[in-house]
Amino acid sequence: MSKPKIAVYWAASCGGCEIAFLDIREKIIEVDKAADIVFCPCIMDTKYKDVEEMANGEVDVCLFNGAIRNDENLHMARLLRKKSKILVAFGSCATEGCIPGLGNLTTKKGIIDYVYHQAPSNDNKGKTEPKPLTKTKNGNLSLPELFSYVRTLDQVVDVDYRMPGCPPVADQIWNVLEAVLSGNLPPKGAVIGVNPKTVCDECPREKSEDKVVKKFVRPHMVKEIDPDKCLLDQGIICNGPATRAGCGALCTQVNLGCRGCYGPAEGIDDIGGKLAGAIASMVDSNDPEEIEKIVNEIPDPVGTFYRFNLPGSIIGRKI
């Protein structure tokens, strides 16, 4: 009997999900015993043509990480959807858009102009810009064409399951792989490897019932952070109240506010809107000028509250 076939692919992402996949450590041997990894550019020299030559549905499960930023990402999303029985949006970039999705705050032209002409570290005296096609004496050279905005995987193809996290933690990945290999999967469309609570529910810190804040600060501005007291009670921004649980509240346990990488908790349609409302309700003032001053202490509100899910949010992008 042939073993199940697994594919792992990255699109617009940092590569952290591949490292997380290898973070299951010696259990990768168990995966190798139980299944064949047939496509994973990070660890093996397989080519696109190898995937194109596979029969439709030949891959039992594909862990697809990364957002859809260019035409190559879209081509591979469609190709792997066709070749895979089960397609999993793996990690925050695929499920929510993540850091690449913050590019939706500007335009394609604005990104290229800054990167190739305006960035302080730039040394582009010839004012060269990337082109989808460049003709040379020895043939044509092509580059993927940048789209105007970033999309999540399920905005371009049908996705069977979503596994959030930046990256997903190793235990979560192993539990999902176990479920896939055993065939013990939840109904299609489920968010897997998480639980329905919020990060606040997992966080061991003591929380006050009525939070009031006179000033918001960043962690490095606090001389001594109380390790037992809720970070929000100390004026440190934490996205835990609206973020899906499953990571074990790892960030808060090292005195860092939850970043929101597991996406909106159950029942929340827009994590940024929910967080902005929750944080605003904590401001301890009735004076409009003081309220504005306190709120302005939050650096980059969109990058804070929508850091991981702007493309997957109700807002989606700047128009």
Q: What is the pLDDT of residue 50?
A: 92
The answer to the question of residue 318 being in a domain is no
The answer to the question of residue 188 being in a domain is no
Tokens of 70: 């260019």
pLDDT tens digit string along 109-153? 999 999 999 999 989 999 999 988 999 999 999 999 999 999 999
Task: Determine contact, residues 132/101, Cβ cutoff 8 Å.
Answer: no
Regarding whether 116 and 30 lie in a shared domain, the answer is no
Regarding whether 229 and 85 lie in a shared domain, the answer is no
Counted domains in the chain: 3
The answer to the question of residue 33 being in a domain is yes
Domain final position from 182, 203, 236? 182
The answer to the question of residue 317 being in a domain is no
Report cis status (omega within 30 of 0) of the bond before 167. yes
The answer to the question of residue 289 being in a domain is yes
Domain holding 245, by residue range, is 195-305
Q: Quote the mean pLDDT of the chain.
A: 91
The number of beta carbons lying within 10 Å of the beta carbon of residue 209 is 4
CATH of the domain at 166: 3.40.50.700
Regarding whether 274 and 205 lie in a shared domain, the answer is yes
The 10 Å CB-count burial string (b at 16+, else e) for 297-315 is ebeeeeebbbbbbbbbbeb
Task: Output 32 or 161, whichever has higher pLDDT.
Answer: 161
Place 28 in a pLDDT band, splitting at 50, 70 and 90.
Answer: confident
Q: What is the pLDDT of residue 115?
A: 94
Query: What gap in Å lies between CA 38 and CA 161, rounded to an integer?
Result: 20
Regarding whether 118 and 66 lie in a shared domain, the answer is no
Q: Quick one: what percent of the chain has pLDDT higher than 90?
A: 61
Regarding whether 154 and 79 lie in a shared domain, the answer is yes
The answer to the question of residue 313 being in a domain is no
Regarding whether 232 and 95 lie in a shared domain, the answer is no
pLDDT tens digit string along 184-207? 888 999 998 888 899 999 999 999
Query: What gap in Å lies between CA 149 and CA 287, rounded to an integer?
Result: 39
Question: How far is CA 86 from each of CA 39, 158, 291, rounded to the nearest angstrom?
Answer: 14, 10, 49
Give phi and psi for 48, each to the nearest 5.
Answer: -55, -40
Does pLDDT of 251 surpass 90? yes
The answer to the question of residue 314 being in a domain is no
Q: What angle do CA 297, 301, 304 make, to 5 degrees?
A: 110
Regarding whether 115 and 95 lie in a shared domain, the answer is no
Task: Output 156 or 246, whichever has higher pLDDT.
Answer: 156
Place 262 in a pLDDT band, splitting at 50, 70 and 90.
Answer: very high
- Coil vs helix vs strand at 206: strand
The answer to the question of residue 315 being in a domain is no
User: Stretch 35-40: mean pLDDT, rounded?
Assistant: 90
Query: What gap in Å lies between CA 133 and CA 269, rounded to an integer?
Result: 40
Q: What's the DSSP call for residue 117?
A: I
User: Stretch 9-22: mean pLDDT, rounded?
Assistant: 88
The 10 Å CB-count burial string (b at 16+, else e) for 225-236 is beeeebbbbbbb
Place 1 in a pLDDT band, splitting at 50, 70 and 90.
Answer: low
The dihedral built from the CA positions of residue 286, 291, 294 and 300, taken in this order, carries a sign that is positive
Task: Determine contact, residues 67/97, Cβ cutoff 8 Å.
Answer: yes
**Residue whose pair of structure tokens reads 């009735």 in the numeric block:** 286
The number of beta carbons lying within 10 Å of the beta carbon of residue 316 is 18
Regarding whether 131 and 209 lie in a shared domain, the answer is no
**Residue whose pair of structure tokens reads 């596979």 in the numeric block:** 54
Q: Which residues, other chains included, contact 86 with Cβ-Cβ below 8 Å and sequence gap of 6+?
A: 60, 61, 62, 160, 161, 180, 185
Task: Determine contact, residues 238/252, Cβ cutoff 8 Å.
Answer: yes
For β-strands 5-10 and 59-65, DSSP reports them as: parallel
Place 179 in a pLDDT band, splitting at 50, 70 and 90.
Answer: confident
Regarding whether 31 and 82 lie in a shared domain, the answer is yes
Regarding whether 154 and 130 lie in a shared domain, the answer is no
Regarding whether 175 and 84 lie in a shared domain, the answer is yes
pLDDT tens digit string along 70-91? 999 999 999 999 999 999 999 9
Regarding whether 295 and 199 lie in a shared domain, the answer is yes
Task: Output 133 or 177, whichever has higher pLDDT.
Answer: 133
Q: What is the pLDDT of residue 318?
A: 83
